[in-house]
Amino acid sequence: IGKELTAPVTEALIRKNPDSTPLYLYLAVSRLTLMNAADFQNIRNRGDGIEGITARQLELVEDMPEGLEEMCAALVEAVGERINPSMCQRAVSYLALSRLGLRLTDLESLLETEQITFQTLEFAQFVNYMNELFLLRADGRYDFLHKSLRQGLLRHMTATGMNLTEGHEKIVSHLESLPDDDIIQIQEITWESMQADDPYSFYHWLSHIWSCTGDEKAAAARDIAEKCREDEGLWIAGCMEGLWEMDYTERDRNQMLVMGAHFLAVQVCSRFGDSLQENRTKIRIGKAAVSNMERLAQENPSELNLLTLSESCRVLAGYYLKSDQPAERDQAVPLLEQGRRLMSQRLHRN
């Protein structure tokens, strides 16, 4: 990166982290060249000259963390302190929380909620100093080039007591304030609402899923499926079961129950394979769909509700048939019969 170090400093870096990666060395050298007034005063106190610079750099090497992720966080913090500490810290925190970065307008709005003025020029200086660590996506989002940088920052944020869920909640609120056709809102609201543990926002988005393009629906299903793989469908099933208690009008709630039964139990579950573990996840979500639709069909036995319940029974029966638990396999046939009765009831009414 165009920087030269004296032999003692180079040797100290190697001793500090014998297995250091090129990225770690880049970060370390960047930190060594990041001198402020206090550093130069320290050097002058030693008599100036290369000896004073070397002595100060050796102290900096001694203070450096040994891990790559910790080194990432340390450099970001050091650069931010020299430009605009509060703004840089919060902007980088939101970038770390995001999945694929944020636009300048997103950062400005998020910081405004914390009474922090977003300075575009100072943020540009911040990014420019570490230009090897950032990328600018085609849609205008600034993001980290290396996964280690995001992981290191998130680890540091957690260690310093920051509530990551609250940060995601703020991002969700920001996304919901954007126009419905905003591409970042469409792409990220699903993932962010799950990270924020926000079933209300999740279902609010789900009520608009059919207005999305096929690619957007597929991306949302992929995101939800990934969440289900992490916790075996516990969060999604809990959302489905808790929908009855959410503050929606009866009409909106009923619409979400039907959409949830179809989109979550069918389209999302179609993303899973046939392993026993993934089938258990499909069963958990399928059971929540059947339970919701049985209750809804009892309250309002409309043609749509009966059809959706019948379909939900058929889908869950298919999952049961692939179970390794005899008791679950035994439930498949009764469910299929229940689905057929519902279809007959619907046809008889017509």
pLDDT tens for each residue of 159-200: 989 999 999 999 999 999 999 889 999 999 999 999 999 999
Tens digit of each residue's pLDDT (9 = 90 or more) over 126-164: 999 887 889 999 999 999 998 888 988 999 899 989 999
The CA distance from 32 to 26, in Å, is 10
Question: Which residue would you say has higher pLDDT here, 224 or 12?
Answer: 224
Question: Which residue would you say has higher pLDDT here, 107 or 30?
Answer: 107
Q: How far is CA 150 from CA 28, 62, 106, 161, 192, in A?
A: 17, 24, 18, 17, 16
What's the pLDDT score for residue 2?
Answer: 47
pLDDT band at 347 (very low <50, low <70, confident <90, very high): low
- Measured CA angle at 205 (ends 201, 209), to 5 deg: 160
Helices 183-195 and 214-231 sit at what angle, rounded to 10 degrees? 10
The CA distance from 69 to 73, in Å, is 7
Query: 204-213, 215-224, 244-253 — which one is most confidently predicted on average?
Result: 215-224
- Mean predicted confidence (pLDDT) in 80-84: 91
Query: In this prediction, what percent of the chain has a pLDDT beyond 70?
Result: 97
What's the pLDDT score for residue 85?
Answer: 93
Beta-bridge mates of residue 144:
134
Contact yes or no for 58/31 (Cβ under 8 A): no
What's the pLDDT score for residue 346?
Answer: 66
What's the pLDDT score for residue 1?
Answer: 43
Question: Which residue would you say has higher pLDDT here, 3 or 287?
Answer: 287
Residue 167: is it exposed, middle or buried by C-beta count within 10 angstroms (0-12/13-18/19+)? buried
Largest Cα span, the chain: 98
The CA distance from 87 to 83, in Å, is 9
The alpha-carbon radius of gyration of the chain (Å, integer) is 27
pLDDT band at 348 (very low <50, low <70, confident <90, very high): low
Name the least confident of 75-79, 197-201, 274-278. 75-79
What's the pLDDT score for residue 278?
Answer: 95
Query: 41-45, 72-76, 253-257, 285-289 — which one is most confidently predicted on average?
Result: 285-289
